[in-house]
A = this chain, B = another copy of it.
Amino acid sequence: MIKVGIIGATGYAGAEAARLLYSHPGAQVIAYGSRSGEGKAFASSYGNMRNLIADPLTPEDLSELAEQADVIFTATPQGYLSSVLTEEILEKTKIIDLSADFRFSDLATYESWYGLTHGSPELLKKAVYGLCELHRDQIRGACLVANPGCYTTCSILSLYPLLEAGLIDPSTIIIDAKSGTSGAGRGAKVDNLFCEVNENIKAYGVATHRHTPEIEEQLSLAGAGKVVVSFTPHLVPMNRGILVTAYASLTRGGEEEIRAAYEKRYGQETFIRLLGNESAQTRFVEGSNYVDIGWKADPRTGRVIVMAALDNLVKGAAGQAVQNMNLMFGLPEETGLLQPPMFP
């Protein structure tokens, strides 16, 4: 039984990890860390887990938790983990970080896009980027996994096979992304009140959103050269789900080559479902670790349009963290993650 500690257990992503681990046959949560809720029951913050999780919320002490846990999920604000992580801690426990602190190979990129000073740059080289479908082998041996962002997972998985196959021009990529509101977190902000979000759609972080360089770094690994993207996130009045609509100019080929590229890369992937020319829809992945990807070649414009959906709290956060944990501990990758999406 893997002993898991969660730090940041009362945010939506941390609590989703708790929900998923509750049903995981090979893991057990031993501590629900929370700065704010300390002492109260976890279930007092998440009534869905009433009677199911009896544990209290505990202080967020990474070093102490490292003594007991086999792995720690940090679902914490940017900058937290880098400020407390040490070599010693990593010798005692594994870490899966849901923040951005260890997602970049380049320190300067992190510091300039996040406006933070990284507290432990010497540990960056230990980190593996936790997008399982791309970095499975490295994740298996890692002690520190940087779990990707929600927009990022969806964007990278959408476009990687096309770049890898040389089908699209890396300078023409535009990613128009739409997210449910749980991605904005559980903080008490006027902008996220029901009446502000409901009956509305808006773009935000236009041309400056911090998931941009993460997408660019990973897509540049596909071998088609350095990728620079326009990335525009939007807030949608729904709880969960991310839809990415991505555009790129085709350099060659069409429908058939596109399909072949996806099938080659993802044909054997449990959690990726290829939809052909159909649009992905967030309702069909809700609550699950699946990613749905559809596409359409448009001869009129010479572009391909890719439409991909995932659940931002599962494959975009806690589910992927569990998938990473499974890999790191030698369990079958799907363990505890095969719940089908819930619709309606």
Contact = CB atoms under 8 A, between A and B. Distances in A.
Interface in A209-250: 228-230, 232, 234, 236-241, 243, 245, 247
A74 interface: no
A196 B344 contact: yes
A334 interface: no
B200 A241 contact: yes
Given A188-B189, A192-B193, A230-B305, A200 B341 contact: no
Contacts of A277: 206
A340 interface: yes
A292 B194 contact: no
A296 B209 CA distance: 13
A: contact size bracket: 35 or more
Interface string A164-182: 0000000000101010111
Nearest to A285: B48
A19 interface: yes
A93 to B, nearest CB: 26
Contacts of A193: 181, 186, 188, 192-194
A307 B189 contact: no
Instruction: Give the residue among A199, A206, A232 with the most B Cβ atoms within 10 A.
Output: A199
Given A181-B195, A247-B230, A340-B19, A238 B201 contact: yes
A174 to B, nearest CB: 5
Contacts of A339: 23, 339
A243 to B, nearest CB: 5
A279 B186 CA distance: 21
Contacts of A303: 174, 230
Contact of A237 (B176, B237, B301): B237
18 contacts: A48-B286, A48-B341, A48-B342, A188-B188, A193-B194, A194-B237, A196-B344, A198-B237, A198-B344, A200-B282, A200-B283, A201-B236, A202-B279, A202-B282, A203-B243, A206-B298, A228-B301, A239-B344
Interface of A: 12, 15, 19, 22-23, 46-52, 174, 176, 178, 180-182, 186-190, 192-204, 206-207, 228-230, 232, 234, 236-241, 243, 245, 247, 273, 275, 277, 279-288, 292, 296-298, 300-301, 303, 305, 307, 338-344
The 9 closest A-B pairs by CB, nearest first: A200-B283, A195-B344, A48-B341, A207-B298, A47-B284, A194-B197, A176-B176, A203-B279, A202-B281
